[in-house]
Chain A
């Protein structure tokens, strides 16, 4: 709810700002509404439409970028929609959007569609999405969980009743679950990891409390010794004195990894950390409003990402992204010449050498 109110405040203030900028150019207007360092006349003269499609997880980031950008450039009309990463790439290939938001790198099939329609794109990683599983501070039996155990706890088909059902050594106490509501990208992401492939969702029974309000989830887990819950890493980070984060066993290395900025960045904290991307249509980038927007996006990226409660990438990634655009180097870093997916952290994969020649 707090977030809703905040959004409202942001929206209202932006609206006021936009209205102020849009009104006739009186002298007092231009003196109060200009952004430092930017000429008022130039800003309002830039107009046009930008269409952003794709991941609902990246949508908040793009929305922040849009709000901020419209604060300085009120006459550029930006539509952001979050119909999913796959639909975003579809729209990109069909020339229906200028920017495609993605919570995973482009797939070979999607790349081929783009090639067939003659679309070139710049691949820009914007943030990390890390998801943290938390339990009560007094919980002394759970330190780490495997993905299998998480499935047992959270999935609708297994829906473990007590902790003992998951591990015989654990107490015979009812598990209570606190999870983000179904409108949340975090919910989707979690479901993607634990059950989407089998067509299974998160359980919705009497032991589960869903809320769109992360604060309610924190309060819930805090007050209930046998609770478990999850939300974005940044929210855990802000409440880490009151909760205990569970280490997750990396399914590939089988090492148990605690969530932290470092382990999320390195990709060790798997499968609950992933980079998020935007894909910019290179042809659209030739248009002044798209160029201005994307440059602005990258210029203010750290602030935008933090505002949207995600983890920023290392600064040199953003620098390389700017360089890709500047040198006009389109293509995906994540697919090699044979169309195989490259694995690894962003820092490892996002190198100029990995770009198609």
Chain B
């Protein structure tokens, strides 16, 4: 890597000087330069491709170690309602549903908060806010986006649970709601900023046309601008969803480490990511054992869920895309 970048810098130097003098460089040198640049670009693009392939390979190989074990039946993994890997030294139950439902519960709560809040903020920023207000609000949102997730997790345990939730009812110290709210807070800036981009990309002549037909601002926003930006808004939603499913630190700190299959939002709720962290950092994980391989099996399910969402996002974007120019 470092060799490549050093070589590029050197070449960049002599590529700039001829342009500075406005003299066309010889075509052979230019061609060589082109090749180098293109190679560099392809290399950079390939790094991410190979990383993805490597991760998929690792997940497949290591989770094979789980599913190929004699004690494991795959349908029990996919339909079981009890998960005790890392919880007991006795017989293991390895149904994914407690963990999967934990992820879904927390993601659901997070989305209930982040999607409306994010969209409303986006609409306000794009359609209503004055230039001055926007110049204040946008950086604030960005600061929120920059808060480390570990801080948010701490905030959930030390503030959201004791001061916001416990007065409302019998919440456990570590519970799904508190973690869900924190993950939601995390996703608001993401939704707001992406949705705002989509809204602002709607050409002004559409708005002007609607005003010309006698619509007021609210009607213009809800009936013209939002539908026009729908594909962008939906992809913002899906990105937030994938973000929430993959979020780890907040849930590891705030959601507890008990895998539960319940709809009660006051109960602890270990997620797939939470399980992976808890098991990985515990000293009980010896490579080659079932609990070790189970990490990868859970990771594979996690990967498939986010991958599925990204895929759906692509399809929706293509289907609802409106092009104006």
Give the interface size class of chain B: 20 to 34
Instruction: Check B88 for interface membership: any CB of A closer than 8 A.
Output: yes
On whether the beta carbons of A182 and B173 are closer than 8 Å, the reply is no
Q: Taking A223-B161, A224-B172, A224-B173 as contacts, is the C-beta distance between A206 and B284 under 8 angstroms?
A: no
On whether the beta carbons of A1 and B173 are closer than 8 Å, the reply is no
- Bound-state Cα–Cα, A201 to B90, Å: 7
On whether the beta carbons of B162 and A223 are closer than 8 Å, the reply is yes
Q: Taking A4-B281, A181-B284, A183-B284 as contacts, is the C-beta distance between A210 and B173 under 8 angstroms?
A: no
Binary B-proximity of A181-200 (CB < 8 A = 1, otherwise 0)? 11100000000000000000
Task: Choose from B166, B172, B257 the contact partner of A211 (Cβ within 8 Å).
Answer: B257
Q: Which A-chain residue is minimally distant from B161 (CB atoms)?
A: A223
On whether the beta carbons of A181 and B174 are closer than 8 Å, the reply is no
On whether the beta carbons of A176 and B172 are closer than 8 Å, the reply is yes
Q: Which B-chain residue is minimally distant from A7 (CB atoms)?
A: B283
Instruction: Check A18 for interface membership: any CB of B closer than 8 A.
Output: no
On whether the beta carbons of B86 and A210 are closer than 8 Å, the reply is yes
* Residues of chain A within 8 A of B184, CB atoms compared: none
On whether the beta carbons of A222 and B173 are closer than 8 Å, the reply is yes
Interface core residue of A156, A213, A227 (most chain B CB under 10 Å): A213
Instruction: Check B232 for interface membership: any CB of A closer than 8 A.
Output: no
Q: Taking A182-B87, A201-B89 as contacts, is the C-beta distance between A206 and B157 under 8 angstroms?
A: no
- Nearest-CB distance from A223 to chain B (Å)? 3
Instruction: Check A86 for interface membership: any CB of B closer than 8 A.
Output: no
- Bound-state Cα–Cα, A212 to B261, Å: 22
- Nearest-CB distance from A181 to chain B (Å)? 5
* Residues of chain A within 8 A of B108, CB atoms compared: none
On whether the beta carbons of B267 and A206 are closer than 8 Å, the reply is yes
- Nearest-CB distance from B150 to chain A (Å)? 11
Give the interface size class of chain A: 20 to 34
* Residues of chain B within 8 A of A212, CB atoms compared: 278, 281-284
On whether the beta carbons of B86 and A182 are closer than 8 Å, the reply is yes
Instruction: Check A74 for interface membership: any CB of B closer than 8 A.
Output: no
Instruction: Check B258 for interface membership: any CB of A closer than 8 A.
Output: yes
Task: Choose from A206, A209, A222 the contact partner of B262 (Cβ within 8 Å).
Answer: A206
- Bound-state Cα–Cα, A355 to B66, Å: 52
- Nearest-CB distance from A309 to chain B (Å)? 15
- Bound-state Cα–Cα, A211 to B258, Å: 9
- Bound-state Cα–Cα, A40 to B290, Å: 46
* Residues of chain A within 8 A of B257, CB atoms compared: 209-211, 216
Q: Which A-chain residue is minimally distant from B260 (CB atoms)?
A: A206
On whether the beta carbons of A223 and B281 are closer than 8 Å, the reply is no
Instruction: Check B118 for interface membership: any CB of A closer than 8 A.
Output: no
Q: List 23 A-B contacts (CB under 8 A).
A: A4-B281, A156-B88, A156-B90, A176-B172, A182-B86, A182-B284, A183-B284, A201-B88, A204-B84, A206-B258, A206-B262, A207-B258, A208-B87, A209-B174, A209-B258, A211-B278, A212-B278, A212-B284, A220-B256, A221-B173, A222-B173, A224-B172, A227-B173
Known: A216-B174, A223-B157. 18 other contacts (CB 8 A): A181-B282, A181-B284, A182-B86, A182-B89, A182-B284, A183-B282, A201-B90, A206-B261, A209-B174, A209-B258, A210-B87, A213-B281, A219-B173, A220-B173, A220-B174, A220-B256, A223-B173, A224-B172
